[in-house]
Amino acid sequence: MLACAGSLLAPLPAGAAGTEPSDNGQVLFRSGTAGYGCFRIPTVVRTKAGSLLAFAEARTSPSCADRGDIDIVVRRSTDDGRTWSPVRTVTSGNGTDPDAPHTRGNPSPVVDETGDGTIHLLSTAEQAIPVHNDVRTAHVQTSTDDGLGFSAPEPLPRFGDGKGKDWFGTGPSHGIQLTEGPHQGRLVVGAYENFGKTGRRTGFLYKDPGGPWQAVDTALTPPATAKPGEPAVAELPGGDVYIGARNETEGANRTHATSKEGGATVPAHAQTGLKTPNVQASVLTLRRTYTARPRDLMLLTSPTGTATNPDDRANLKVHHSLDKGVTWTAGPTLKTGPAGYSDLAELDNGRIALVYEGGKPAPTSREQGDWSAAHIYFRSLDPRTLGLPAGTTLPAPPPFTAPPTGRTTPDTTPQANDAHLAGAAALDPAAPDGRALRLAADGDHAELPYTRSLDPGSGDFTMSLHFQYGPLPTGTEADRRTLLWAYGMGAGTPQVWIRADPAKNRIWAWAEGSGGSAEAEVKPADPKTAAAFSDGKPHHLTLIRRGNAVELRVDGVRGTTQRQVTGTVTGPARTGFDGIRLGARPGVTTETFKGALDEFRLYRSALTEAQATALRTKDALGTPQDPAPAVRLPFQAVDLTDAPVTTPVSIVDDVSGNGADGTLVNDTYLRHPTKVTGRVDGSALKITANPDAAATEKGKGVQGVQVPFTPSLDIADRDFTYSLWFQASRQATTPQTLLTAYGSSTTAPHLRATVEWDPVRQQHHVLASAKTVTGPPVQQQRDLPALDPAKPWHLLTLTRSGDTFSLGVDAVLSTPTALTGSFTSDATAPFGLRAGSQEHPTLPGKPATHVLDGLLDDVRLYGNALTEQQIKAMYPVGGPNPKEGIKLRWSMEEGNTQIHEVMRPPAAPTQQSTPDSSRHHNHAYVRDASTHDGRTPTGSPSGSPFGKALKLGADGAVTLPYGHAEALGAGDFTVATLFSHAPEATDSQTIAWAYGNGAAERQLRLRTENVNGQKKITAYVQTDAAEATLSVDAPGAGWHHVALTREGNALKLYVDGVHRQTAPVTGSLTRGDAHQVTGFLLGSRPDGRQHLQGSLDEFRIHRSALGPAEIKALWDTNTAPAALPVVHLPFDTLAEGSYARM
């Protein structure tokens, strides 16, 4: 309904996003929410304007691995951390495609405080999937609007000649600007780089005012002496630069060095007297807390280990140093239990902002899933509580209190000053021109907590508000009613308020400045108007401060003006009530305004008379050329703070990037199982045949890895090679499964390899069995070599080359056997892949059987047949693995084999799923459905359909859990699908429903419904700013295509490739916070009603608006557009079970 006023930056999703208080502080980034698998690597800076910017890596995979599809995100606070903006993406993608999977990391911000306030964000980037000769690059982005928006990444130099290809990292921690010495104004950020196996260089990236970024590093540090990494920097008295780093030399203390040239040179690192786990730490010299002079006291935060394991990432502690970081004194523990990376910033009031990785909010044990980076927290520390030495000069900062969580209604400006709804305050859909805030009882109101962006200080401002009330109940005619109260209370206290005063027939305003006050009033011009405009009709008011004058207008009529207000209208200390309350007076239950309020705006300027008059139209002043409001509450949506529904997800990343991520079988470990040294790279997976006997404090034990069928596993009748490394028990006499794929029955298509015991020969051997759809089963066998402690690992290969099949054990290949035909068929829903065990074919729950008792490592599928020479080269330790043609790779590395909680509905006991063929692999749950032939393309000479389609049963639905790809925000999008429906049905039939369900919740829906006796296709969206509806005649029986696009502020509906209707739309469909949100539900409402009586096929989501020709091509021939989808469900496969990544 309403157009956003001011200049909105397109990448920023508008709307509310709160934080969840806990004993650890505020949960700032809750892993598994906001569309991401986890958040890691927090950093924080205070801007020149006093805002806090908290950055983090937003990692898509539930494994939380260091490499993969990772974005850099930020949350912003303008009230010292009491409230925070939504999670906003700062950088993503590969530079040309923001939706492409890419690894962005190591956020390292630094602020030009002595200059223009520009924020510089340094970071690194690399391919999400390792490729040959991939180079990790460094970048910088800038923000000139206090962190609301950032420029595109620009390249930065690396150390040495800049041509290194080994690991390079910025920070990760905040940088500094030198305020003393000959290099005042210089920006300095820590960085480090590996140089082969010979050592590491650690140093700085620095920038002088007006100059380019430059890199300077130490000489190579031999690993035997020290291996400093992830450096943090601090300014010392006189402008020297301290650099402290973790020391990756086993058992060593932290390292440090001091640059005497302001970061232009770096001496060799020495070990400090402080030993911590091998983990990043943050350092900060303080300006407002010191012993003799500012910056002579340095803080460091880091985990300190446990009594039983000093290397454990646990027990975050603060330390202080009085000798420039040479020695450290331990202070209080800030977080008991698991904790990880951290960063610090000093606030203007002397408090210290701390962001850190920590365990779950409630005390939990590791077997319950706790780990050092379960969430990212924020805490505001009072330096008086940090155990600093006697005689320290300490500030006396105000207390820190965060507002309680609860329902909010979003501010649609980038400032995200969302209003909390108190009492029974609700949005009334029956307002004359859209929703409005309805206040009906004492205590009902909307409250904007104080932020700097709401603080006009001693400057000009404009407040605008629509209101409606009356007629007045008998006996209350003389009662005052508060429309607005802001900034303070009490005689002589700076404040602003607006009241309805029926007893004196006026709207009455008061502005109390620190040096004088002024009031203004407006009375109805028409004597027939009810007292103080209480006639039940909509009215509009503006209150403007212009210099020392206060002007009040109601319905464009200007009332009395006084010119005595001087000084600031807000108090200097943030104590007591200091925000803006709409509809009630703080501290009392009387004077509640009972009626409707709408379209509240605050401008940090005095609008002209023409602009103030224009605000009587609610969608006025909405162009980029108009003044930008500091807050705009259109009262069009309510955001809930429901706790997220999370599910433990075990995952073994498919590091090939093809989406066949594995799930650990029969596992209750909530991190990585007992770490075992692997044959390839670092770790392997321990498989336990008897889990009860192997029970530990962490869980029952792993009995394999499995994935339902995905397109990348479909080898059909083509060449392939499966390879894996294993160790198998030599005491076992029952079969031990190494790998099984495509089927579990010996008479159905399958591919299987097991370790068998031959009691006659007293010999273990590997038995391989293969059967295609059309061919007979074939078997091959090779004996396991005698057990050799020096060579405990064995290499398995299964290869089809042309029409032959061969088994390889330790690079010795069997004589090829004839094998023809496809392992998969259009007529089947094939089994996927499982390593380490098989499903029991008859027992309930299909428990694991024929379990390997041993180790698995590096399972791979190649889409080509490896040659005998390639396989032989793989076998020696350090031998090369072919890098081309990999369709699947389970590396079993610790960082890629995890169990964490993510926001998604739990899988049903007999769950079915369907794979997403996009590069984001947003696989979906399926309920009560079956596959059948899809639609026949228009004009197709063969009459062949678009592959399979999904036939929905009476309770059928497809659930696409909420992920970053589905978070459409305020951006362009296309949602499109083929469907059939029952035209004769009287009930509405849901095609797609996303996000929310209740009245005024953000949502998107497509459905057929009966409107005045006619069958319609209706599209509806509710954003934070407005709602929009499109409705056109629905087609009859048979296959049809519907597409909903958003391009800028235009919402378009297409049916069967033809554009049918357009409607205006503004605002954001989604919010970035830690609360519950639903993804896309296809074929059903969220409450399980209004099922689609028909079928679905070729469901797509694009993060762009497809054009008419592209949409027509989807309908005519299913021709994919040039723009890649972020979700594509072709419904060709209906697999048993659920995927690790949904």
Same domain, yes or no: 601 and 666: no
Same domain, 439 and 518: yes
* 1087 found inside a domain: yes
- What distances in angstroms separate CA 563 from CA 500, 544, 607, 771, one per listed residue? 22, 12, 17, 92
Q: How far apart are the first and last CA of the chain?
A: 34
pLDDT at position 1041 over 50: yes
Between 2 and 597, the more confident residue is 597
Per-residue b/e over 470-504, b at no fewer than 16 CB within 10 Å?
A: bebeeeeeebbbbbbbbbbbeeebbbbbbbbbbee
Tell me which of 248-252, 374-378, 741-745, 916-920 is least confident: 248-252
Alpha helices in 357-411 (DSSP H): none
Confidence class for position 920, pLDDT limits 50, 70, 90 = very high
- Predicted pLDDT of residue 573: 59
Mean pLDDT value of segment 441-469: 95
What strands, in cross-sheet order, belong to the sheet with 419-422? 408-409, 419-422, 445-448, 580-582, 481-486, 495-501, 506-513, 516-522
State the DSSP H helix or E strand holding residue 189, giving kind and residue range, or none if neither.
strand 187-195
178 three-class SS: coil
Band of residue 776 on the pLDDT scale cut at 50, 70, 90: very high
Residues whose CB is less than 8 angstroms from the CB of residue 37 and which lie 6 or more positions away in sequence, other chains included: 31, 59, 60, 61, 62, 63, 64, 900, 902
Task: Please report the pLDDT score of residue 846 as a whole number.
Answer: 76
Choose among 724, 855, 716: nearest CA to 772.
716
620 shares its domain with 668: no
- Give dist(CA 225, CA 219) in Å, integer: 13
Residue 385: φ, ψ to 5°: -105, 10
What's the average model confidence in pLDDT over 151-173? 90
| 751 vs 722: CA distance, rounded Å | 10
pLDDT in tens, 1084-1101: 999 999 999 999 999 999
Q: Is residue 220 part of a domain?
A: no
C-alpha 763 chain-centroid distance: 53
State which residues form the domain around 586: 408-633
Q: Are residues 718 and 604 in the same domain?
A: no
Nearest-angstrom CA–CA distance, 241 and 255: 14
Same domain, 533 and 595: yes
Task: Answer whether the bond into residue 172 is a cis peptide, omega within 30°.
Answer: yes
Label residue 672 by pLDDT band (50, 70, 90).
Answer: very low
Asked if 662 and 776 sit in the same domain, the reply is: yes
How far is residue 606's CA from residue 604's CA, in Å, rounded to a whole number? Answer: 7
State how far the Cα of 551 lies from the Cα of 137, in Å rounded to an integer: 56
The closest alpha carbon to 107, from 69, 46, 177, 56, belongs to 56
> Per-residue pLDDT for 114 more than 70?
yes
610-650, pLDDT tens digit by residue?
999 999 987 788 888 899 999 999 999 999 888 888 888 88
Q: Is 954 helix (H, G, I), strand (E, B) or coil?
A: strand
* Sign of the torsion angle spanned by Cα atoms 174, 179, 180, 183: positive
Do 677 and 777 lie in one domain? The reply is yes
Rounded (5°) CA angle 688-694-698:
105
Confirm if 493 and 512 have CB atoms less than 8 A apart.
yes
pLDDT tens digits, 895-904: 999 888 888 8
Assign 392 to helix, strand or coil. Answer: coil
User: In whole angstroms, what is the distance from residue 57 CA to residue 357 CA?
Assistant: 12
- The mean pLDDT of the chain is 90
Phi/psi of residue 367, nearest 5 degrees: -70, -15
Count the alpha carbons within 13 Å of 222 in the hemisphere toward its beta carbon. 2
Residue 142 has, within 13 A of its CA and on its CB side, a CA count of: 9
- The count of residues in the chain is 1142
pLDDT at 303 over 80: yes
Q: Does a cis peptide bond (omega within 30 degrees of 0) precede residue 471?
A: yes
- Give all strands (DSSP E) within 972-1057, no chain letters: 973-980, 989-995, 1003-1011, 1014-1022, 1027-1033, 1040-1047, 1050-1055
- CB atoms < 10 A from the CB of 25, how many? 25
pLDDT above 70 for 404 = yes
> Would residue 1030 count as lying in a domain?
yes
pLDDT band at 2 (very low <50, low <70, confident <90, very high): very low
Angle at 675 between CA 669 and CA 678, to 5 degrees: 130
| pLDDT (tens digit per residue) in 412-432 | 999 999 999 999 999 988 666
Q: What is the pLDDT of residues 246-272, one digit of tens each?
A: 998 877 789 999 998 887 888 888 888
CA nearest to 88, candidates 15, 27, 30, 7: 15
Q: By mean pLDDT, which of 507-521, 562-576, 923-937, 1106-1120 is the weakest?
A: 562-576
> Residue 325: pLDDT band by 50, 70, 90 thresholds?
very high
Single pTM value for the model = 0.93
Mean pLDDT: which of 195-204, 698-707, 733-742 is highest?
Answer: 733-742
Mean pLDDT of 641-660: 91
HEC readout, 675-720: CEECCCCCEEEEECCCCCCCCCCCCCCCCCEEECCCHHHCCCCCCE
The residue type at 973: F
Lowest mean pLDDT among 282-286, 356-360, 1001-1005: 356-360
Question: What is the b/e burial string over 940-976, where b = at least 16 CB atoms within 10 angstroms of the residue's CB?
Answer: eeeeebbbbbbbbeeebbbbbbbbbbbbbbbbbbbbb
Q: Could you count the other beta carbons within 10 Å of the beta carbon of residue 748?
A: 14
Give dist(CA 16, CA 86) in Å, integer.
Answer: 6
Judged by phi (left if over 0) then psi (alpha if -120 to 50, else beta), residue 1060 lies in alpha
Distance CA 638, CA 1025 (A): 10
Q: Among 892, 924, 940, give the residue marking a domain's end.
A: 892
Are residue 596 and residue 662 in the same domain, yes or no? no
**Residue 905 in this model has a pLDDT that exceeds 70:** yes
Identify the bridge partners of residue 422 per DSSP, sorted by sequence position.
Answer: 445
Helix, strand or coil, per DSSP, at residue 894: helix
Supply the pLDDT for residue 5. 28
Residue 87 lies in a domain: no
Asked if pLDDT for residue 692 goes beyond 60, the answer is: no
Q: In the block, which residue shows the tokens 């409606």? A: 468
Q: Name, in order, each residue with C-beta under 8 angstroms of 803's C-beta and a sequence gap of 6 or more.
A: 818, 819, 820
- Shared domain check, 870 and 797: yes
The count of structural domains within the chain is 3
pLDDT in tens, 138-149: 999 999 999 999
Cα separation of 574 and 746, whole Å? 73
pLDDT band, very low/low/confident/very high, at 223 (cuts 50, 70, 90): low
Within a domain: residue 99? no
Tokens of 66: 């260091």
What pLDDT, on a 0 to 100 scale, did the predictor assign at position 221? 63
Neighbouring residues of 1140: CB distance < 8 A, sequence distance ≥ 6:
62, 649, 650, 651, 652, 661, 662, 663, 707
Residues in contact with 680: Cβ distance below 8 Å, sequence separation at least 6, in sequence order: 725, 857, 858, 881, 891
pLDDT given for residue 468 in this prediction: 96
Q: What is the CATH number of the domain that holds 545?
A: 2.60.120.200
Residue range 1061-1072: mean pLDDT, rounded: 94
Average pLDDT over residues 226-234: 93
d(Cα 190, Cα 170) in Å, to the nearest integer?
6
- Judged against a pLDDT cut of 80, whether residue 500 lies above it is answered with yes
Do 614 and 673 reside in the same domain of the chain?
no
Torsion of CA 850, 853, 859, 864, to 10 degrees: -50
Q: Of 187-191, 837-841, 1039-1043, which gets the smallest average pLDDT?
A: 837-841
Whether residue 222 has pLDDT greater than 50: yes
| Three state DSSP letters for 579-613 | CEEECCCCCCCCCECCEEEEEEEEECCCCCHHHHH
| Residues 483 and 498: beta-carbon distance below 8 Å | yes
| Residue 181 near residue 228 (C-beta atoms within 8 A) | no
With a pLDDT cut of 70, the percent of the chain lying above it is 93
Residue 223 resides in a domain: no
Mean pLDDT confidence for 938-945: 64
What six digits make up the tokens of 557?
């009529």
H-type helices in 760-894, by residue range? 868-874
CB count in 10 Å sphere of residue 7:
16
| Structural domain includes residue 215 | no
Determine the Cα–Cα distance for residues 493 and 976; give it in Å rounded to an integer. 57
pLDDT band at 1 (very low <50, low <70, confident <90, very high): very low
Regarding whether 1033 and 983 lie in a shared domain, the answer is yes
Instruction: Kindly tell me if the per-residue pLDDT of 371 is higher than 90.
Output: no
Domain shared by 664 and 582, yes or no = no
Q: Please check whether residue 77 is in contact with residue 417, taking contact to mean a CB–CB distance below 8 angstroms.
A: no
What is the phi/psi pair of residue 348, to 5°?
A: -60, -30
In a domain, 148, yes or no: no
pLDDT, greater one: 618 or 1123: 1123
Percent of the chain surpassing pLDDT 90: 73
Please state, in angstroms and as integers, the Cα–Cα distance from residue 283 to each residue in 196, 295, 992, following that order.
29, 12, 50
